[in-house]
Amino acid sequence: MPATAKGGFAETFDESPLPGLDSEALDFKVASVSFPDRGKLGKAEWQTLRLLEPQGRRLVPTVGGLLWFGKNPEARSPDAWIQCGRLPRSLSSTASNSALQIPTFVTRQD
């Protein structure tokens, strides 16, 4: 598993950095439209969302960032796909509200 700039390791595959790419591989306009209630998102927010990860002195996209908001994700990962679900609150008392809402506010717009 790739090491992060913080000296740790990515927690999941989708959080793994892609050091061969730069931040321009992501379509920030499309990503911003997906979070209209958040206002303008800066580098800190992209990192919090795990769309970008520091690698040395630069920010690179993560696997998840590329799949959700990449300008050309099929070129890097032609067989990749995203699967997510939403559990009823009665089945998931420990899940956070934001985790339950992800499928409703993150949609890919081409």
User: In sequence order, what are the beta bridge partners of 54?
Assistant: 59
Instruction: Specify the amino acid at residue 40.
Output: K
Q: Is the pLDDT of residue 103 over 70?
A: no
What span, in angstroms and rounded, lies between the C-alpha atoms of 109 and 2? 29
pLDDT per position as a tens digit, 68-97: 898 887 777 777 777 777 777 665 555 454
Residue, of 101 and 65, whose pLDDT is higher: 65
Which position has the higher pLDDT, 11 or 47?
A: 47
Scan for tokens 């890097």, then name that residue.
76
Predicted pLDDT at 74: 74
**73: helix, strand or coil:** helix
pLDDT at residue 101, rounded to an integer: 47
Share of the chain above pLDDT 70, in %: 70
DSSP secondary structure letter of residue 37: G
